[in-house]
Amino acid sequence: MPVLNEADYLRDAVASILDQDYAGEKEIVLALGPSVDSTDDVAANLATEDARVKLVLNPQGRTPIGLNLAIAASKYPIVVRVDAHSELAPGYTARGIETLFRVDAHDVGGLMDARGKNPLQRAVAAAYHSPWGLGGAAYHSGAPEGPAESAYLGIFRREVFEEVGYYDESLHRAQDWELCLRIRQAGYKVWFDPELETGYYPRDNYKTLAAQSYASGVWRGELSRRYPDGKSIRHDLPPVMVLGTTLGAIAWIIDPWLTAEAPTAVRIALNLLKLAPVGYAALVVYATMTGKRTTLKERLLMLGVFPSIHFPWAVGFVKGRILGAQGTLDRGRVRS
């Protein structure tokens, strides 16, 4: 588990791992980044309370480095990646290991069940579950069990790291997708099991949500530069949406200033462009109204959640696709 500024979530996350309904031996290795809250104190107390909790230092604080340090410090033949912002279902470990051998896979992942502890966080969680929020990936909205391109978190056979290598430390984000690519290229199976469920607590304010979305978009753009075959048409939709809504907003502004002598073709083009922001607003309202498990207040908050996901991600993707990631950090996560 890579850990950075997670004082409010770490104890519950670790408890959900140590309390798993699993008969075999287990340990949890925490890779501690340079937190500026009381995360290190919480981790030290957890290690004192339970010998199964091991600590390693991750001075650079980056996720792939922390994961590699934690894997190297672990000792068992099954490696389970976990997150400090999540809570595992009680049968997660047992089910995941059973699936790993049942289908002869080398990496198994399941559903990311986004949850919230306050109205805005629950609104973000509902947007994550929506196919209009994060693109409808299987681990967000669900899909039948079967082979997958990537896996959320991941339950691995240890030997796969020795064969294909560890996480790519040059990738600040999306390193799980790149590792799964190497696993699949080596002829091994990455598997999605919807019975595996992990509770995840997303960002709980618009600013940090937008920062996370921007960083995710930048690194997805970087991956598209490195691995063109991994690019999907769904990655192009948000940039097209941003371009369309921006041009449409400009069209609304300049339309009143057109003179009667303006060419008919110009007027038609402006009227078509004006439909883009209207269409996007209608999509947001539709996605909000069809969201599950939401109150009226949460639905109203969702009206701001979708743009906070879509626009920063799209701008970041274009930046990453053209210029590369250039070490972009998630400023909503790294506090100083």
SS3 200: strand
Supply the angle between the helices 206-226 and 296-323 in degrees, to the nearest 10: 30
Q: CB of 297 within 8 A of CB of 177?
A: no
pLDDT 10s per residue in the chain (336 long)?
999 999 988 999 999 899 999 989 999 999 999 999 999 999 999 999 999 999 999 999 999 999 999 999 999 999 999 988 888 889 999 999 999 999 999 999 998 888 888 999 999 999 988 888 876 566 656 678 999 988 889 999 999 999 999 999 988 888 998 999 999 999 999 999 999 988 888 888 999 999 999 999 998 888 888 887 665 667 778 888 888 999 999 989 988 887 777 788 888 888 899 999 999 999 999 999 887 767 899 999 999 999 999 999 999 999 998 998 887 776 555 543
Q: What is the pLDDT of residue 140?
A: 59
Task: Label residue 240 exposed, middle or buried (CB < 10 Å: 0-12, 13-18, 19+).
Answer: exposed
Which long-range contacts (C-beta less than 8 Å, at least 24 apart) are formed by 53-57? 53/14, 53/18, 53/27, 53/28, 54/27, 54/28, 54/29, 54/30, 55/29, 55/30, 56/29, 56/30, 56/31, 56/32, 57/31, 57/32
To which H or E segment does residue 3 belong? strand 2-3
User: Span 2-204: which CATH code?
Assistant: 3.90.550.10
Q: What is the pLDDT of residue 136?
A: 57
For β-strands 107-114 and 78-80, DSSP reports them as unpaired
Instruction: Specify the domain boundaries for CATH 3.90.550.10 within the chain.
Output: 2-204
Helices and strands, number each (H, E), in the chain: 12, 9
Neighbouring CB atoms inside 10 A of 206's CB total 16
Q: What is the pLDDT of residue 235?
A: 72
Measure the CA–CA gap between 141 and 125, rounded to whole angstroms: 11
Q: What is the pLDDT of residue 232?
A: 63
